Amino acid sequence: MTRADLRLWGTALRTIAIKEILRFARIWVQTVLPPVVTTALYFIIFGGLIGERIGEMEGFRYMDFIVPGLIMLAVITNSYSNVVSSFFGSKFQRHIEELLVSPIPNSVIILGFIFGGVARGLTVGVAVLIVSLFFSPLSVHNPIVMLLVVLLTSILFALAGLINGVFARTFDDIALIPTFVLTPLTYLGGVFYSISLLPDFWQGASMLNPIFYMVDAFRYGSLGTSDFPVIASFAIIAMFIIVLYGLALWLLNRGTGIRS
């Protein structure tokens, strides 16, 4: 590996990342605004109307309790959707081959797509946080934990979106995982409730949901309460990132879903 190689890879990474960021920023009315509006409706319906009847959750006003979960919900879905749609679009338009045959390691290509997913996830997350201020005061127990959880979660679901994009053969395929896997996992991941309210069996079942650890750790960073040790949650999130990155790299090296 020479300095020229490093400069080339750095330029390639920067180019892919900028392309991915401009891709969603250029059409922010379609990519950033809709999840913000949807989350505002969650705050009004679940936090305002239903929350008044629920009262408190884990010692917090219900509106305050669901804020961290709704922020994570926005980060997860947008990090995922940005990469899956972008990568599949590259396949559909037949220019992903140009990247794969170029003198750029597949690891750099993956990182470029990850940057785009993380950028959109963080952008929408911040936008949702700003909207939440109209309904609930900002609560920060541990800002480092909050930032790390959001960053790691964005990376994880950007990788998951890339893997979905690799296997997708039609535009319908990129909606299957979000509809039948991602959405149920997010709603069953403790966004709107504490798993301590569940019977023992369903508490154990919730432990199999990776999104639970992300929501729980972020809630700890915001409110200082959690249903699971935060360090263990970080370890689980990191493990999923390592596994998904290795799988994504292996799939690109094999040309899965690209070579015909």
pLDDT band per the 50, 70, 90 thresholds, residue 75: very high
Within the chain, strands assigned E span 56-57, 60-61
- Find out whether 138 and 65 touch, Cβ atoms under 8 Å: no
Compute the average pLDDT of residues 21-32.
92
**Model-level pTM?**
0.92
Question: What count of other Cβ atoms lies within 10 Å of the Cβ of residue 4?
Answer: 8
pLDDT band per the 50, 70, 90 thresholds, residue 175: confident
Predicted pLDDT of residue 184:
86
| Alpha-carbon distances, residue 99 vs 5, 59, 95, 246 (angstroms) | 16, 52, 7, 19
Question: What count of other Cβ atoms lies within 10 Å of the Cβ of residue 62?
Answer: 21
Residues 125-140: pLDDT tens digits? 999 999 999 998 988 9
Compute the average pLDDT of residues 56-67.
87
Compute the average pLDDT of residues 99-109.
86
Compute the average pLDDT of residues 56-84.
91
Compute the average pLDDT of residues 38-43.
89
Better pLDDT: 223 or 97? 223
Compute the average pLDDT of residues 42-50.
80
Predicted pLDDT of residue 260:
53
Candidate ranges 46-55, 91-100, 234-243; pick with highest mean pLDDT? 234-243
Predicted pLDDT of residue 54:
78
| Average pLDDT of the residues of the chain | 89
Collapsing DSSP to helix, strand or coil, 5 comes out as helix
Triad 197, 72, 220: Cα angle to 5° = 55
- Find out whether 63 and 48 touch, Cβ atoms under 8 Å: yes
Beta-bridge mates of residue 60: 57
Residues 157-171: pLDDT tens digits? 999 999 999 998 888
Residues in the chain, total: 260
Compute the average pLDDT of residues 22-47.
90
Predicted pLDDT of residue 259:
64
The phi-psi region of residue 9 (left if phi > 0; otherwise alpha if psi is between -120 and 50; otherwise beta) is alpha
Better pLDDT: 210 or 255? 210
Collapsing DSSP to helix, strand or coil, 61 comes out as strand
pLDDT band per the 50, 70, 90 thresholds, residue 195: confident
Predicted pLDDT of residue 130:
95
Question: What count of other Cβ atoms lies within 10 Å of the Cβ of residue 173?
Answer: 15
Predicted pLDDT of residue 140:
92
pLDDT band per the 50, 70, 90 thresholds, residue 1: low
The phi-psi region of residue 242 (left if phi > 0; otherwise alpha if psi is between -120 and 50; otherwise beta) is alpha
| Alpha-carbon distances, residue 20 vs 59, 167, 171, 258 (angstroms) | 41, 20, 19, 20
- First-to-last C-alpha distance (Å) of the chain: 32
Percent helix, strand and coil across the chain, each rounded to 5? 80, 0, 20
| Alpha-carbon distances, residue 16 vs 29, 96, 105, 139, 257 (angstroms) | 22, 11, 13, 35, 20
